Structure 1
Amino acid sequence: MKKFLSLLLLTIAGLLNTLQAQVSFSVSQKRVSPTEIDVTFKAKIAKGWHVYSTNIPDGGPTAARFGVDKADGAEPIGALKPGPGVKSMHDEVFEMQLSFFENTATFTQRIKLTKKDYKLKAYLEWGACNDQNCLPPSTTEVVVNGSDGPTGEAAKAAAAAVAQQPGQNTNVATGVQNNMLVDTVATIATTDTAAVAPVVAPADSSDVARWYESSIEQLKHWGEDGGTHNRTLWYIFLMGFVGGLITILTPCVWPIIPMTVSFFLHRNDDRRKAIRDAIIYGISIVVIYVSLGLIVTSVSSANTLNDLSTNAVFNIFLFLLLVVFAASFLGGFEITLPSSWNNKVNARASSASGFMGLFLMAFTLTLVSFSCTGPIIGFLLVEVSTAGGSILNPTIGMLGFAIALALPFTFFALFPTMLKKAPKSGGWMNVVKVVLGFIELAFALKFLSVADLAYGWHILDREAFLALWIAIFGLLGAYLFGWIKFPNDDDDTHTSVPRFFLGLGSLAFAIYMIPGLWGAPCKAISAFAPPMYTQDFNLDQVKVEAHFRDYEEGMAYAKKAGKPVLLDFTGFGCVNCRKMELAVWHDAKVRDIMNKDYVLISLYVDDKTRLPENIEVKQADGTIKTLRTVGDKWSYLESTKFGAQTQPFYVPVDNDGKALNHSFSYKEDIPGYVKFLQEGLKNYRDKK
């Protein structure tokens, strides 16, 4: 189990690897009788990967299954059948017997035709893993249609055969029927979640068409607020830099600094050359860690990261992963890489010369210090990769981390006498690890909360989240005061002055969150806690809530009320959305304008609620995109109407759906947001 965890942590970048073609499926159809067609899915599987078969026990990886989006005159009959070559073995990770394919895989589903003109739109859902990570559940779509189906008695017999099937097969996922094919987003069906405000009468079809017309050119006319992305990249860099500084203070890295610097300075009598080698050594550290960020960047896209950021399986996995990290830092066990790896790399570093030898020495440091750097790197990559914004986030974050980690080696090589003044390693380093363990445990709850919000489970509402954070930071304060101890702590009974102030701050933070149990905003944690509307008991009546969560119902109401609309493209897992809602929307002036002068429509792009009917839209390149969830619909609306994919994304529109001002993204600027709202309101009144 430890070996598996070690390999998994080393390849944390592989968690985001959904675009890499490790598995490619082709689809073929074969007529086997006048009323039956076999649909066959064949896969080519990359070396080291495997695709799971159909009979996977509950709690295991993703099993192959056949799903139906639309069926008219054609129905799946019988179970999805795996082809030859299925292997079976006991998996120690899942602790169960699993069947899977390697190199190639084949699945066949028989389709029964029940009338002359038939059409079936369906998909194969499958899962794939290697020894280190798994791809998220993926689908391969297929369409079976024609006009050569049975008629008369043959059609009746085929329909009767389908009706006699003993219930729905366990590996067949039935979707909705009679979905609409639309050529433009203007004709998207009006099926969504219930609105917050009372339901209004359906709008005229001409109004609906105008509401969905593109406003991209209008936004270009108004100009955009372009300061957000640069600020985000600087923030990501700073986050990585702080992570690197923290890593330096851990017992896996700090003791290595004087030994390594001493080695360089005594390697030869030429101090200038020794300093040069130390600088190259530091640069090698930067290259190694930035390469990891580049790997994540190269295999990911903005859409991929957005989908993963709200995927339930992905977020629950991250929750469990961070809990494992926290347990390791608290002293429960040590996460280490196989010693043979260290020995091999160290031997190559000793035998190599020049730049390659220095690079391999830097790589040796990476392996030796993995038990401390691994959890921090993993947390950093997870956090920046799912935080939205630029696709360069992982690379920028790792650049900051690597620079901070390389600084002490280069600095002490340049000024070796300063080594004598550096604090010696000791028990204080374990305190750093334990504190990091508490922090990772707290952040683990964020990922569980994202999955809970996206799927509406309601197991971690705001007060439950706050109660757990209050307990975690209260216990952290107790630890820093020396009231509780962990396995690797020293037996010293005294509390140092720095520990006293850190403990005081942790306890104060826990006390600060207590009023949040009754609805206090607690702005300092707004980026992490679930939104205020999940609070069951709320004494705070000072709030802004969306009037509608349905675009068309909200637009129809706004037209009737004669008010402009503020569109809020948001997400359950959107950290910056929560910050804006508590830090900006909670301001009295902002709240007054939004509640009195606008109709607020909040559209959650990660809402996993299934649409009553799937929606098919033809894209600019001629391909068909299937929208299956409410979040899919709002994400598509944001990209086609406004050319945006980020959240939060605010834009005021008139009663025809035309932009009244430039958009506004994440920026905790209350005067700027007030000006943004007032300009939109002024432009609306001028047009009227």
Structure 2
Amino acid sequence: MQYLLYSLFALFYFQATPGILKPAHWSHRIEKVNDTQYKLIYEVKLDHDWGTYSQYQDNPDSPVMPIEFNYEDSSNIRFIGRTEESGHIKKIYDSVFETEVVKIIESASFTQLVEIIDPQKPITGYKNGQVCNSERCIMDDYDFTFQVASATNTGQVSSEANTTTSTDNDHTIDQSISSLQTSYSTVKSTCTTEEKQISQSHLLTFFFGFLGGLLALLTPCVFPLIPLTVSYFTKSSKDRASGIRNGILYGLSIIAIYVGIGLLITSLFGATALNDLSTNWLANLIFFVVFVVFALSFFGYYEITLPSSWSTKTDALGRNGSMIGIFFMAFTLAIVSFSCTGPIIGTALVQSATSTIGPAIVMFGFALALALPFGLFAAFPAWLQSLPKSGSWMNSVKVVLGFLELALALKFLSVSDMTSHWGFLRYELFMGLWILLFAGMSAYLLGWIRFPHDSPLKKKTPLRWAFAGLSLAWTLYLCTGFFTNQKTHSYQSLSLLSGLAPPAYYNFFKPQQIGDLNLKQRFPSYSKCANNLDCFKDYTEGVTYAKEIGKPVLLDFTGYGCVNCRKTEENIWIDEMVWSKLKNDFVLVSLYCDDETPLDQLTYSISTSKKLRNIGNKWEDFQIVNFQQNSQPLYVPIDPFDQEILVPARGYHSSITEYQQFLNCAQQTFKSKATGSLGQN
């Protein structure tokens, strides 16, 4: 499971409408090299947290949309070499597309050396590509014109404030639909409230660390130290108040030490470097080896420890009883418990490395769980009597953690496999190995197998039976991942393994399905889309079909290279209720804003005066004109009969429940309009 503990409370924030976004700022200039040769130079500056994709992707089948420079009349140009890139260019693994991509962040420049035949003719063209952040992707087109005749050795800079205007001979298209534009600000629904989104990432990172700290407490390196340390504080203190104070200071010192480690890691490597490490194929292969080493240590085949001189020195510094002394006592705990806590900390840090402050947050959660018992038992020493006695059960905790480490090791090997296109650790093999691991854990908890430090299991406690039952139940749950999903005709995706297991479609034996041939003949844009859903890739065709069958339309502004579009499809649309509604109650119209299929002729938008070269340009312009947004994904339910919006449009949100409510409200509003009851309640 992605996280063993989801949350105890939720953190909300209001999601503002993104509007028209322009996170990439382009400029271009031309520099004269000699009488015939020139440099065409393009520069881009990207807003914080946004990135675009290099022209040169290592994987020729990469699903992302790279930068591409197109020249409208190349007969006057002879290209010398390729367009060179420089700037903040990084190779990272994209966990959604399961491939390594070459990404540009912050800024970059592109230089193309050319030989010009006739310098009196300007060079015109356009750049296309996409820019993405963690929430959305946007098509990023840019028109350019180079005036060769006026070129100098330093170059004349032109910015992206270019505009294009059509002539009388150009084909134009009116993208505006007045009913869509009007209802966008005055939506017909009465069942929605202002949209909220659960901000999960930092909260889950904290609880992941907190859970790791709770597990560390149960290991033989930490658990026996709780009564010893608390007894030391209560007996060496002058009164109860000072004992409580020392216990709390000890706990705060533990928190300060581990949070300091998290901040130090971020400051040394930087958030971007940590993210690159967590997604790089070689780093993930190293993590796989490290986690296997950790697992074998937990199984008892050897012990990983820090030098004993470290603990000796910190222990000596901690004996003076002062605040500094208490701090060094906490530091001693961190050192002597490393053989048990090290693998847990390593796991937590790797899982949190995609966030700027993730390491500090996860270490705070870990340290808080570790520190709480010392503070609480110092305040209420009588509670010590309720603690279970140390014994062989603590070694059982370590062995169980060893099985979990091996399971996580396979996750990292899976990332390397998909990144490097080895293709050997596909869905079936990964799930089979996980089933074997958790079946082995169940056998261990039942006493059927033993490890080096295990003593003979004379009887099984109720708690051990309970954990064995949970492990068996989890193993059976994993087996259901081999059931066939009748909707997608692939394996049954397990929601609790999202982000851990390879996607169900990354398999050896399950082929893709084809769509309804009769519909395809009537509506050429019809096809099978994500999760085996019927969809139309043309607005007019989709609306026409929706009128025929009397169902509302769900406009899906998407992209082949849209990260969060895939997240929605893989994690939300796969939900039983969501999938059923999309299949049976809506007509899905997916408009791909990065579709590079050329239009029959060059077209200008009447509303925006924008030059529309391909189908993607057309749908992006359609989105901007009617919905005042240019980011994907965007989901808009509309009534096909009057083309009015049923409920407020929404972008990417990770909550399945909210998406269910979104569809329910749209369907309810559509039915209310049909019966004339809207607004009568």
TM-score range, shorter chain: 0.5 to 0.7
Distance 1:311 1:501 in 2: 39
- State the Cα deviation string for residues 259-297 of structure 1 (Å, max 9, x = none): 222222233433422221111111111222334455577
Structure 1 residue 395: deviation in Å? 4.3
1:337 to 290, 293, 306: 306
Distance 2:567 2:79 in 1: 53
Pairing 1:401–2:366 present: yes
Pairing 1:243–2:185 present: no
Structure 1 residue 306: deviation in Å? 7.7
Matches within 5 A, 1:303-342: 311-342=280-311
Match of 1:143 in 2: 110
- State the Cα deviation string for residues 528-582 of structure 1 (Å, max 9, x = none): 44444345657999x9962799999465763564563353877599889755345
Matches within 5 A, 1:56-455: 120-123=83-86, 141-144=108-111, 180=128, 188=141, 225-229=195-199, 233-294=202-263, 311-350=280-319, 354-386=322-354, 394-450=359-415
Pairing 1:518–2:506 present: no
1:594 to 582, 585, 598: 582
Q: 1:185 to 1:672 in 2, by over 3 A?
A: closer
Structure 1 residue 366: deviation in Å? 1.5
Q: 1:485 to 1:430 in 2, by over 3 A?
A: same
Counterpart residue type for residue 672 of structure 1 = Q
Aligned length: 519
Q: Secondary structure at the match of 1:533?
A: coil
2:667 to 678, 683, 687: 678
Q: 1:595 to 1:421 in 2, by over 3 A?
A: closer
Match of 1:489 in 2: 454
Pairing 1:459–2:446 present: no
Q: Secondary structure at the match of 1:266?
A: helix
Q: 1:242 to 1:666 in 2, by over 3 A?
A: same
- State the Cα deviation string for residues 449-493 of structure 1 (Å, max 9, x = none): 456567766433333332122111111111112222222322445
Q: 1:494 to 1:226 in 2, by over 3 A?
A: same
Match of 2:542 in 1: 558
Q: 1:34 to 1:313 in 2, by over 3 A?
A: farther
1:499 to 455, 464, 467: 464
Structure 1 residue 188: deviation in Å? 4.6
Q: Secondary structure at the match of 2:325?
A: helix
Counterpart residue type for residue 423 of structure 1 = P
Q: Secondary structure at the match of 1:143?
A: strand
Structure 1 residue 437: deviation in Å? 1.4
Counterpart residue type for residue 409 of structure 1 = F
Counterpart residue type for residue 405 of structure 2 = E
Counterpart residue type for residue 143 of structure 1 = F
CA contact (8 A) 2:536 2:542 kept: no
Q: Secondary structure at the match of 1:121?
A: strand
- State the Cα deviation string for residues 97-144 of structure 1 (Å, max 9, x = none): xxxxxxxxxxxxxxxxx959998332379899xxxxxxx988784433
Distance 1:438 1:275 in 2: 38
Match of 1:96 in 2: none
CA contact (8 A) 2:83 2:111 kept: yes
Structure 1 residue 428: deviation in Å? 1.2
CA contact (8 A) 1:265 1:413 kept: yes
TM-score with structure 1 length normalisation? 0.58
Q: 1:596 to 1:120 in 2, by over 3 A?
A: same
Counterpart residue type for residue 226 of structure 1 = K
CA contact (8 A) 2:254 2:330 kept: yes
Distance 1:363 1:260 in 2: 13
Identical pairs, percent? 34
Match of 2:474 in 1: 509
Q: 1:566 to 1:141 in 2, by over 3 A?
A: same
Structure 2 unmatched runs, 5+? 1-30, 40-65, 72-76, 92-100, 119-124, 132-136, 143-170, 486-491, 516-527, 547-551, 599-615, 676-681
Pairing 1:661–2:643 present: no
Structure 1 residue 349: deviation in Å? 3.4
Match of 2:530 in 1: 546
Which range is displaced more, 399-408 or 306-315? 306-315
Q: Secondary structure at the match of 1:238?
A: helix
Structure 1 residue 604: deviation in Å? 12
Counterpart residue type for residue 308 of structure 2 = S
CA contact (8 A) 1:454 1:573 kept: no
Structure 1 residue 312: deviation in Å? 3.9
Distance 1:297 1:336 in 2: 24
Structure 1 unmatched runs, 5+? 1-29, 39-66, 73-113, 129-135, 153-176, 190-202, 614-629
Distance 1:247 1:646 in 2: 42
Q: Secondary structure at the match of 2:111?
A: strand
Matches within 5 A, 1:8-87: none
Distance 1:453 1:337 in 2: 35
Structure 1 residue 304: deviation in Å? 8.4
Distance 1:519 1:581 in 2: 17
Which range is displaced more, 279-288 or 302-311? 302-311
Structure 1 residue 431: deviation in Å? 0.7
Q: Secondary structure at the match of 1:122?
A: strand
Structure 1 residue 253: deviation in Å? 0.8
Q: 1:678 to 1:309 in 2, by over 3 A?
A: farther
CA contact (8 A) 1:118 1:145 kept: yes
Distance 1:276 1:207 in 2: 70
Match of 1:155 in 2: none
Q: 1:578 to 1:610 in 2, by over 3 A?
A: closer
TM-score with structure 2 length normalisation? 0.58
Distance 2:349 2:37 in 1: 49
Q: 1:452 to 1:567 in 2, by over 3 A?
A: farther
Counterpart residue type for residue 593 of structure 1 = K
Q: 1:550 to 1:604 in 2, by over 3 A?
A: farther
Structure 1 residue 248: deviation in Å? 0.4
Counterpart residue type for residue 122 of structure 1 = E
Structure 1 residue 235: deviation in Å? 4.2
CA contact (8 A) 1:482 1:493 kept: no
Pairing 1:580–2:572 present: yes
Q: 1:232 to 1:115 in 2, by over 3 A?
A: closer
CA contact (8 A) 2:127 2:141 kept: no
- State the Cα deviation string for residues 181-235 of structure 1 (Å, max 9, x = none): 899966759xxxxxxxxxxxxx99765999xx9x99899x987531411x65554
Q: 1:440 to 1:551 in 2, by over 3 A?
A: farther
Structure 1 residue 406: deviation in Å? 0.8
Greater RCO structure (CA 8 Å; 6+ sep) = 2
Counterpart residue type for residue 219 of structure 2 = T
CA contact (8 A) 1:319 1:445 kept: yes
CA contact (8 A) 2:639 2:670 kept: no
CA contact (8 A) 1:548 1:601 kept: no
Structure with max Cα Rg: 2
Counterpart residue type for residue 533 of structure 1 = Y
Q: 1:445 to 1:232 in 2, by over 3 A?
A: same
